Structure 1
Amino acid sequence: MAARYTYTEQELTSLLKSNDRAAFEYLYDHYSSALYGIIVKIVKDEERACDAMQDTFLKIWKNIGSYNAEKGTLFTWILNIARNTAIDKLRVEVKKEKVVKLESVRDGDLSPATIFNPLPATIDLRSIVERLLPERKLLIEMVYFQGYTHEEVSERLSLPLGTVKSRIRKALQELRQVFEVDTPEAIFA
């Protein structure tokens, strides 16, 4: 059988869903440069971009069964996978950079002026959360005390994801006001 050099999107999708190796090679040959361009713009590092690219195609291979042509084109679907994979890769790197090594803080570095002593009234976070509006309180409890993701909360409460995120953002703004310190001198008083 002669090698086939073009596929319609429907043919390509069907072959990919049946784990056809030639279709996957075709997908890589025709879409990898566009995906790599997006990935490298996000992660800004060629080595991480290569890792993200490999992870992207593994995810495509493993999850092609979940692709639904009614929701968008194949290219849009794989582009979203590439973008999300690159963002995840970037988040992991940022978290690694923000890790504080506790051994790096010596006892001599700590003085009474550098230690934050919260007011006793602000210590019980749950009682402060209780004062929020009921719909905000529930969301904060689910996300921060019970460990649900925003998406899981959205599904469990049958609320749009945007509504969940905006209510959580407003609740966090209210909570920030409770812990806000007006001037640096107030910390050391």
Structure 2
Amino acid sequence: MQQSAVHIDDYILSERLMAGDPGAREMIYDHYGPALYTIILQVIADNEKAENALAQVFVYIFNDAVAYRDSGDITLFGWMRRVARQMALKLAVGELEDNGTMVSNGSLLFRFTTGLPEGIQTVFRLCYYKGLSREAVARMLGLHPEEVASQLREAMVAFRKFLNN
């Protein structure tokens, strides 16, 4: 017998998550973990550090699920994607702080972002700071989603180089 994919409404899933339901946590981890890990790997190229970041993302998601309801995000995955991107950026910059390279997360990210070419900077800000999907950014800017994806790849390559300098 073939099993069909289980779909559960974001509202119901988020309510179960806020109630601390272990089944909801397991479902979210199993269903969204690989996608969130891929998002983190775009920022943190090291597998072990990316796995640690993913663990921190899920700790945040599981402990602060009420933040989803308050975020204004339409989908649960959209919120989790934004959390993963922001956590990955924060952790990547935080590593530098631990090494004494920079004192303020904001100033380092600001310096990186302002050093990007204008078009890439706009795409980066909309995707990583605002948490918008590539498709939404493409519609906003009148670009093809592939162009947005390409610009994000360029930004991530530049970010890794920036962190290594």
Task: With the length of structure 2 as denominator, give the TM-score of the two structures.
Answer: 0.54
The Cα offsets for residues 27-70 of structure 1, whole Å up to 9 and x where unpaired, read as 01110110000101101111110110000000001110122277
Matched, 1:31 2:66: no
Cα RMSD (Å): 2.2
CA distance in 2, matches of 1:61, 1:23: 9
1:122-141 aligned at under 5 Å gives the runs: none
SS at match of 1:68: helix
The Cα offsets for residues 106-128 of structure 1, whole Å up to 9 and x where unpaired, read as xxxxxxxxxxxxxxxxxxxxxxx
Structure 2 alignment gaps of length 5 or more: 103-165
State the percentage of identical aligned residues. 30
Greater RCO (Cα-Cα under 8 Å, separation 6 or more): 2
Q: 1:96 aligns with which of 95, 98, 105?
A: 98
Matched, 1:22 2:26: no
Q: Is the 8 A contact 2:17 2:25 kept in 1?
A: yes
Matched, 1:84 2:86: yes
1:17-166 aligned at under 5 Å gives the runs: 17-68=18-69, 71-72=72-73, 73-99=75-101
How many pairs align?
A: 97
2:13 aligned partner:
12
Q: Is the 8 A contact 1:48 1:89 kept in 2?
A: no
What amino acid sits opposite 1:82 in the alignment?
Answer: A
Structure 1 alignment gaps of length 5 or more: 101-189
Q: Is the 8 A contact 2:18 2:66 kept in 1?
A: yes
Q: Which of structures 1 and 2 has the bigger CA Rg?
A: 1
Q: Is the 8 A contact 1:43 1:49 kept in 2?
A: yes
